[in-house]
Structure 1
Amino acid sequence: MASKRKRKEKQKDFAKAKLKVGKTAQKPDNYTDTSFKSKTISLPNQSIASSSNYGASSGASRSSLSTGPSLAVLTHQLSLTKHHSSNTRKEVLNYLQTHLPENPSYYKNIMTSILPLILDEDKEVRKALMSLLSAIFAKQPGLIDLHLRSTILFILSAMSHIIPNIRTTSTHFLRIIVENSHGNLINSYFVKIMRNWFVLMGWSLNEQDSKQLSMAVTTLSITAMNANSKQARIGHLQNLNKFLSKTLQHDQDKDKNKDMKLNITIHPQSYKYLLTDTVQPYQPLKLFVKEFKSEGSGSNGSGISMLDLNTISTEDLDTRKKIMNDVFKPLMIKNLNTFVKEGGEIGREANNCISIVTQACTSSSE
């Protein structure tokens, strides 16, 4: 009897238990429960970003929120400008354009977040950024003057970018700056913009390579340009026309403002004691500058060479005209004439640029 009982107990260890329907297998004796439950504590009223928006139940606070997005919403939307999806970045820019805040203090964060998108690889994102910048400058006219330095930095980087599509739209951003900024501020970047424009168009600034320049221009249109190169060059020349008109032609609005100031002055010679509009009004007199004749100067030693451009201030109109006449005009006219020979719209835009440069240099010589 004892042997049969032991034999049955041993067989139980190797026998498979038959489970009833709806019942789970019995857990072993050494089973350890590893499941756990977590609890979270949410305190939205103590959030730093939305502390001024939560709990605003008064009528005044509700009216202020209706004029634009709250700080928390705006911060979240600006964080999406770095999203990996191009559609998300474009939708954020469209949202910001339709929900521009009334509070001027918010625009510093907005400009800091959207300006790097000038170098965005997606074309639709850059188009949305153009319309957003135009809307911002129309709503806040003096904002561009505060962020002009960083904006010009990104535009110059786009003009010399390795990706052709980014270079194509770079001058369109510059056109927005030219249309919305004051001339005195954009004039200080005249030399840098002209140098990058030569790089963008594939023109050489070295006078020693002038003999090989015509061959370089003809091969450039065949090898270095893509299928949409002609349309891109037309856009570049149109924007160059506006830039040259802004920086090389006399601003008539300043004369109107001066006439208005003279109408309200007490004495006829009061204008002599008023503050000037230029940053360095006596810079052309060169009172505190010791000049040395450079090798690239003209025959009479009064010309401006490429080495002088690094130390010359371009706030003065006559200085910009002299720089154009001595440095940029000869090579620019030679390259623009190649576009004139092509005819069509690109020939008309090149002719307009030539007329502006010629007129400015003629007036400066007089």
Structure 2
Amino acid sequence: MTSSNKKKRERAAQAFKKTKLKVGKTPNKPANHTDTSFRSKTIVVTQQSLSVRIAPETEKQYLHHLSLLNHHASQTRKDSLAFLTTHLRDVSVPLAALLPKLAPLILDESNGVRTALLALFALLKPNEVRLQLQIILLHVWSAMSHIDTDIRRDSTKFLSWALGAAKEDVLGNGGWAKGLTALTSVLEGKHLEVVQKFLVAGFGEEEGEIQTERVLHGGLHWSVQINLTRAGVQDYRYLGLFAGEVGAVEDAPGRRRWCVETAQGKQITQRLRTGLVGLTKEGGETGRIAGKVLQILERGIERAKETE
């Protein structure tokens, strides 16, 4: 037997030989094993902040969700509102572009969408709301007379929010008459607290008739406040600086007089009184609140008559 043949037989026998392993001992690595392990003391990150890449992407998504607010699927509209709410302060999209797209959702047929919208509105600051408030109020007044019961039910939630965010702006620019008219169409137990809130604000019960700068000059330069205080609003009406009859309905005494001196005011006041009297007869919690609101209405009217 040659030496080469002997070596071949030995290698073949070794290949099929079962190696006995001992406990705790690492088995031998195969002959063709390649070691791929490595060690590194530090990892260098070229960009420590991810905001450079995330912010543009977030703003792009924000605009995308903004475009989905009129999507046919209510769940999509709701999800988009949730995204807009979460990232409201993370993007540079101006509220002047956002609010006109949000306002129509006050009339949305989905309860979930309206609830999500109200949650977003709650994050807005008064100075952010005022410039677009009239657009929002147009949809609020419309919702209060809507044929859909659920939309009417939620309408006063938006009115209550608006009163809390920018009360004098709600009452100004004809809002007192529009608000009272709209409230007569939702004069039910679940809306009485908002009726009370509106009347208290309009009659000046909370502030003791202390007039704010915005009520008197509607956003004009602060120096106008001094002149109006000295000369009175009526002296400046001929200049056409004010929206509507400022002296008549843009302050608490004027709003009270409007209820007793104008045909529209008398008609709406009578409708409110009749509705409230009817609710007081129901008794219970509804009757109690209705009686309280009726007292506020009657007191405001009496105060107006005392100044005649």
- What per-residue deviation string (whole Å, max 9, x for no partner) do you get for residues 116-151 of structure 1? 11010011111111111112x2xx331110111100
2:140 aligned with 1:155:
yes
Match of 1:112 among 95, 100, 103: 100
User: Which of 218, 242, 247 in structure 1 is aligned with 2:202?
Assistant: 247
* 2:279–2:287 Cα contact (<8 Å) kept: yes
Query: TM-score when scaled to structure 1?
Result: 0.57
CA change 1:288–1:193 in 2 (3 A) is same
Distance in 2 (CA, whole Å) between partners of 1:236 and 1:315 is 24
Q: 2:256 aligns with which of 296, 317, 321?
A: 321
Q: Residues 315 and 161 (structure 1 numbering): CA distance in 2 closer, same or farther, change over 3 Å?
A: same
| Coordinate RMSD, CA, aligned | 3.5
3-state DSSP class of the match of 2:126? coil
* Pairing 1:350-365 to 2, within 5 Å after superposition: 350-365=290-305
Equivalent residue number for residue 66 of structure 2 = 78
Q: Please say which structure displays the higher CA radius of gyration.
A: 2
- Displacement of 1:190 in angstroms is 0.6
Tell me the CA shift for residue 319 of structure 1: 1.6
Percent identity, aligned pairs only, is 26
- Cα–Cα, structure 1 residues 337 and 114, in superposed 2: closer, same or farther, change >3 Å? same
Change (3 A) 1:99 1:317: same
**Matched residues, number:** 241
Which amino acid in the other structure matches residue 199 of structure 2?
L
Q: Give, in whole Å, the separation in 1 of the partners of 2:71 and 2:163.
A: 30
What is the alpha-carbon distance in structure 2 between the residues aligned to residue 175 and residue 100 of structure 1?
Answer: 22
1:234 matched to which residue of 2? 189
Residue 106 of structure 1: CA displacement? 2.6
Confirm or deny: 8 A CA contact 2:277 2:290 kept in the other structure. Answer: yes
Q: Counterpart of 1:92 in structure 2: which amino acid?
A: S
Structure-1 residue corresponding to 2:180: 194
Corresponding residue of 2:285: 345
Q: Distance in 2 between matches of 1:71 and 1:116?
A: 22
Tell me the TM-score normalised to structure 2 length: 0.67
Q: Which moved more, 1:57-66 or 1:319-328?
A: 57-66
Gaps of 5+ in 1: 1-56, 202-232, 259-272, 290-310
The CA distance in 2 between the partners of 1:164 and 1:148, in whole Å, is 24
Unaligned residue ranges in structure 2 (runs of 5+) = 1-45, 214-221
* Amino acid in the other structure paired with 2:85: Q
